[in-house]
């Protein structure tokens, strides 16, 4: 063990690690927001609630049908993604021609419904989610102790983030998607079913949030308000990074998570607010966001 | 927001009836008379609270309805004004009118700072920035010593208005709140119908064109933002004196959502909509307090239903049906 600026390396890197974990959730969520915004022109306020639902579905799968962590990592995002697609088909699709703000208001209502229902059935207190045996324990790296699960979360979210980036930027499907974002009418004229693509995009964005939720379940308690607290920070992350670039969302998410972790070490009182302060500074210096284009 | 798609109000070919041209005045008189007689029939405390929220909602409507800016962080001004007013009255022993002024001034300053940042981005980003800034100030309120953290500031003395009138008397307090509410309401009405208000509406309809006509739209937006924050602050400060309480609920994001809901239900961009909306929502909360947490679900359902089916809100629909301006 050694010290950096008078802080034991274990504490420093431990907080940095927690920060990066948060950062991976910021990255996954802001990525989903950006993908949804690109196709639907809607800021999905219920994103946090859908992240929370992912955690709850994983919890319920474990409690009631004994489905463990690994299957839940696949099944929960699919279930939440399907509910998302139902929401898109029954509600969101009527709003595309209206001002963006109505989408925000509608999804805000949806978030309230999800949060209210889970609060009624599970209370506000958190429910513990038991870690799978295969991910218990950790490695001693000399300068810090690295719990296996945390390492897994970072690796998994990085993989999913870059997978998403790859699909959107480097595949034919992604090309359709980007084309439909630019000019849906023209893409439809080429015989591509754009409305279905929009539905699937929303489902996918929501599933990303649920995936983050499942990964968060063993780290934080599963609680109804876990999403609403997170989504506001993610909004700040999105304002900082801009929604124009997928890599931008990933880099901003991880970077801000790490920065937040370091703040916890050096100036703990500000750890809740540091991202908002950074947002204010970015707005002053680069109003369009770090990776954004001027709207 | 809706205006661009809404069909223009048809011009009647005969001289319009007096009640049509004077509809706003008539409704205003009805509202004033109603608020004067109401305390004899129902709880004055409920009415006072409702008027505070009505002023809050009207202040919010100034932005969303007339400049087209959706602020999702208006709890910031409402809540911090209420903290400062409560603190001024309780610790500094200010008289109630000075305490309310202190709270209102605080909101004006916060509105200037947050507004200057938020107007640097448009549309959906504006909503996210205002929400994030409000959340930042929520954390300050949570950590700061003077706000009392989870307890809030309790047992705020109502004190003596101008050192003379004892506001512990429910009727005296009621008159004060009524005067503040009506003053705020008329002030907003005046803003909307001034040349300044016309420019705001021009920005709402087409900001690019307003810029090309030579208007410095950023300045107009900022002034409108500060006015809206200040009036929201006046509402929050008054609420702190009336309920003798300032708490975290007032600065947290669900409060910002609530004021949006009040506007949505009543009708954004109508003068009376926010008033009606806030009374409806508060009444609902009182009546539904037995169902506990389901209130959140019900609010969510109202949000969804309003956005999908009922975007004009109660007053907006009424005005549309009767073809009058309200």
Which H helix or E strand runs over A8?
strand A7-8
| pLDDT at residue A294, rounded to an integer | 46
The model's pLDDT over B145-157, given as tens digits with 9 standing for 90+, comes to: 888 878 888 888 8
Q: Can you give the pLDDT at residue B239?
A: 94
What is d(CA B103, CA B86) in angstroms, rounded to the nearest whole number? Answer: 8
- pLDDT value at residue A101: 87
HSE value, Cβ hemisphere, 13 Å, CA-based, for A134: 4
Of A165, A196, A204, A205, residue with least CA distance to A44:
A205
Q: Mind listing the pLDDT tens digit for each residue in A196-245? A: 999 999 999 999 999 999 999 998 889 998 998 899 999 999 888 877 78
- The distance from CA B62 to its chain's CA centroid, rounded to whole angstroms, is 8
Predicted pLDDT of residue A270 = 84
Give the pLDDT of residue B6.
47
Q: What is the per-residue pLDDT for B291?
A: 75
Tokens coding A34: 């950006």
B117, A277 in Cβ contact below 8 A?
no
Q: Is A133 exposed, middle or buried (0-12, 13-18, 19+ CB in 10 A)?
A: exposed
Phi, psi of B165 (to 5 degrees): -95, 125
- The chain B residues in contact with chain A (CB within 8 A) are 1-2, 5, 70, 72, 117, 120-125, 127-129, 131-133, 135-136, 139-140, 142-143, 253, 257, 260, 264, 292-304, 306-308, 311
Interface touch A105/B264, C-beta < 8 Å: yes
Residue-level pLDDT at B197: 93
CA distance A215 to A157: 9
Q: Which of A43, A109, A239 sits opposite B300 (nearest CB)?
A: A109
Please give the Cα distance from B140 to A13 (Å, whole number): 27
Chain B residues closer than 8 Å to A232 by CB: 131-132, 135, 253
**pLDDT on residue A181:** 84
Q: Where are the domains of chain B?
A: 44-252
Q: Do A108 and B264 touch (CB under 8 A)?
A: no
CA distance B282 to B290: 14
> Which residue in chain B has the smallest CA separation from A95?
B308
Residue-by-residue pLDDT tens, chain B, 326 positions:
444 444 445 555 556 677 777 888 888 999 999 888 888 888 889 999 999 999 999 999 999 999 999 999 999 999 999 999 999 988 898 888 899 999 999 999 999 999 999 998 888 889 989 999 999 999 989 888 888 878 888 888 887 788 777 778 888 889 999 999 999 999 999 999 999 999 999 999 999 999 999 999 999 999 999 999 999 999 999 999 999 999 999 999 989 999 999 999 999 989 999 999 999 999 988 888 777 778 889 999 999 999 999 888 898 888 888 888 77
For the segment A12-47, what is each residue's pLDDT rounded down to a tens digit? Answer: 888 888 899 999 999 999 999 988 988 888 899 999
In this prediction, residues A104-130 reach a mean pLDDT of 90
Q: Which two tokens stand for residue A291?
A: 């990776």
Of B2, B122, B124, the CB nearest to A43: B124
Residue from B73, B132, B267 to probe the interface with A (highest A Cβ count within 10 Å): B132
B17 — phi, psi (to 5°)?
-65, 155
Of A68, A55, A64, which is closest to residue A215 (Cα–Cα)? A55
Structure tokens at A237: 């992350």
What pLDDT score was predicted for residue B14? Answer: 59
Does residue A142 carry a pLDDT above 80?
Answer: no
Residue with tokens 């998994």: A156
Please give the helix or strand (H or E) that residue A7 lies within, else none: strand A7-8
What's the number of CA atoms in the CB half-sphere (13 Å) around residue B15? 1
With an 8 Å Cβ cutoff, are B257 and A108 in contact? yes
Number of CB atoms found within 10 A of residue B206's CB:
13
What is the band of A292 on the pLDDT scale with cuts at 50, 70, 90? low
Do residues A253 and A203 touch, judged by C-beta distance below 8 A?
no
Band (pLDDT 50/70/90 cuts) for residue A48 is very high
HEC profile of chain B = CHHHCCCCCCCCCCCCCHHHHCHHHHHHHHHHHHHHHHHHCCCHHHHHHHHHHHHHHHHHHHHHHHCCCCCCCCHHHHHHHHHHHHHHHHCCCCCHHHHHHHHHHHHHHHHHHHHHHHCCCCHHHHHHHHHHHHHHHHHHHHHCCCCCHHHCECCCCCCEECCCEECCCHHHHHHHHHHHHHHHHHHHHHHHCCHHHHHHHHHHHCHHHHHHCCCCHHHHHHHHHHHHHHHHHHHHHHHHHHHCCECHHHCCHHHHHHHHHHHHHHCCCCCCHHHHHHHHHHHHHHHCHHHCCHHHHHHHHHHHHHHHHCCCHHHHHHHHHHCCCC
pLDDT of residue A4: 66
Distance CA A157, CA A71 (A): 17
Measure in Å the smallest separation between the Cα of B289 and chain A Cα atoms.
14
Q: Do B128 and A236 touch (CB under 8 A)?
A: yes
- Tokens 């978030």 found at: A111
Choose the closest CB to B304 out of A106, A115, A279: A106
Residue A140's nearest CA partner among A151, A128, A153, A124 is A151
pLDDT at B191: 94
Q: Which residue's structure tokens are 């309003």?
A: B306
Q: What is the pLDDT of residue B322?
A: 83
Cα B128 from chain centroid (whole Å): 19
Sort out which chain A residues have CB atoms less than 8 A from B133's CB and list them: 276, 279-280
Identify all chain B residues contacting A287, using CB atoms and an 8 Å cutoff.
120-121
- Quote the pTM value: 0.89
Q: Mapping DSSP to helix (H, G, I), strand (E, B) and coil, where does residue A212 land?
A: helix
Q: What angle do CA A288, A199, A76 make, to 5 degrees?
A: 95
Of A99, A106, A284, the CB nearest to B1: A99
Helices (H), A91-193: 100-122, 148-170, 172-182, 184-189
Distance CA B241, CA B246 (A): 9
What is the model's pLDDT at position B13?
55
pLDDT at res. A295: 43
pLDDT tens, position by position, A256-274: 999 999 998 888 888 888 9
Q: Does the beta-carbon distance from B117 to A102 stay under 8 Å?
A: no
Q: Comparing C-alpha atoms, which of A293, A255, A202 is closest to residue A27? A: A255
Domain ranges in chain A are 16-130+141-225
> Six-digit token pair at A252?
């901003």
Q: Which residue of A lies nearest to B143 if distances are taken between CA atoms?
A: A269
Cβ-based neighbour number of residue A182 at 10 Å: 9
């Amino acid at each position: 063990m050694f010290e950096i600026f008078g802080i034991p390396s274990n504490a420093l890197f431990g907080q940095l690690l927690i920060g990066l974990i948060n950062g991976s959730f910021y990255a996954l969520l802001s990525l989903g927001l950006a993908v949804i915004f690109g196709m639907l022109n809607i800021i999905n306020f219920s994103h946090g609630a859908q992240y929370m639902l992912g955690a709850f579905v994983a919890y319920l799968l474990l409690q009631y049908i004994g489905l463990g962590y690994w299957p839940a990592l696949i099944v929960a995002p699919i279930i939440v993604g399907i509910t998302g697609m139902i929401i898109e088909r029954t509600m969101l699709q009527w709003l595309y021609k209206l001002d963006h703000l109505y989408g925000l208001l509608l999804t805000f209502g949806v978030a309230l419904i999800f949060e209210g229902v889970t609060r009624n059935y599970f209370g506000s207190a958190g429910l513990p989610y038991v870690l799978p045996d295969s991910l218990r324990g950790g490695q001693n790296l000399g300068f810090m102790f690295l719990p296996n699960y945390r390492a897994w979360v970072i690796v998994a979210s990085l993989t999913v983030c870059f997978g998403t980036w790859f699909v959107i930027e480097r595949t034919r499907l992604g090309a359709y998607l980007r084309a439909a974002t630019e000019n849906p009418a023209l893409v439809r004229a080429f015989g591509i079913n754009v409305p279905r693509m929009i539905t699937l995009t929303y489902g996918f964005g929501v599933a990303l949030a649920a995936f983050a939720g499942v990964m968060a379940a063993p780290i934080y308690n599963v609680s109804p308000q876990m999403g609403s607290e997170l989504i506001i920070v993610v909004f700040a992350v999105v304002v900082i990074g801009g929604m124009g670039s997928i890599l931008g969302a990933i880099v901003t998410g991880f970077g801000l998570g790490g920065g937040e972790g370091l703040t916890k070490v050096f100036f703990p009182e500000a750890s809740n607010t540091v991202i908002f302060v950074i947002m204010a500074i970015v707005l002053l210096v680069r109003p369009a966001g770090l990776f954004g284009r001027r709207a | 927001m809706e205006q661009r798609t809404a069909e223009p109000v048809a011009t009647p070919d005969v001289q319009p009836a007096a009640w049509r041209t004077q509809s706003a005045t008539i409704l205003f008189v009805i509202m004033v008379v109603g608020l004067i007689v109401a305390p004899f029939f129902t709880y004055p405390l409920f009415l006072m609270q409702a008027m505070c929220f009505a002023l809050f909602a009207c202040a919010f409507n100034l932005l969303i309805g007339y400049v087209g800016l959706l602020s999702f962080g208006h709890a910031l001004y409402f809540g911090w004004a209420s903290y400062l007013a409560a603190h001024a009255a309780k610790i500094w022993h200010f008289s109630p009118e000075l305490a309310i002024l202190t709270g209102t001034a605080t909101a004006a300053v916060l509105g200037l700072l947050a507004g200057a940042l938020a107007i640097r981005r448009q549309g959906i980003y504006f909503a996210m920035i205002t929400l994030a800034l409000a959340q930042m100030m929520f954390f300050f309120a949570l950590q700061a010593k003077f706000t009392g953290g989870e307890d809030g500031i309790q047992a705020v003395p109502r004190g003596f208005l101008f050192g003379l009138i004892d506001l512990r008397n429910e009727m005296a307090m009621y008159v004060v709140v009524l005067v503040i509410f009506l003053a705020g309401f008329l002030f907003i009405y005046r803003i909307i119908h001034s040349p300044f208000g016309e420019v705001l509406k021009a920005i709402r309809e087409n900001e690019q064109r307003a810029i090309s006509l030579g208007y410095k739209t950023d300045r107009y937006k900022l002034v409108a933002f500060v006015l809206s924050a200040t009036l929201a602050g006046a509402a929050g400060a008054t609420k702190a004196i009336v309920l003798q309480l300032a708490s975290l609920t007032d600065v947290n994001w669900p409060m910002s959502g609530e004021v949006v809901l009040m506007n949505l239900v009543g009708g954004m961009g109508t003068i009376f909509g926010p008033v009606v909306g806030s009374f409806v929502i508060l009444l609902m909360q009182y009546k539904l307090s037995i169902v506990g947490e389901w209130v959140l679900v019900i609010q969510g359902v109202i949000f969804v239903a309003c956005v999908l089916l009922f975007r004009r809100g109660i007053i907006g629909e009424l005005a549309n049906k009767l073809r009058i301006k309200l």
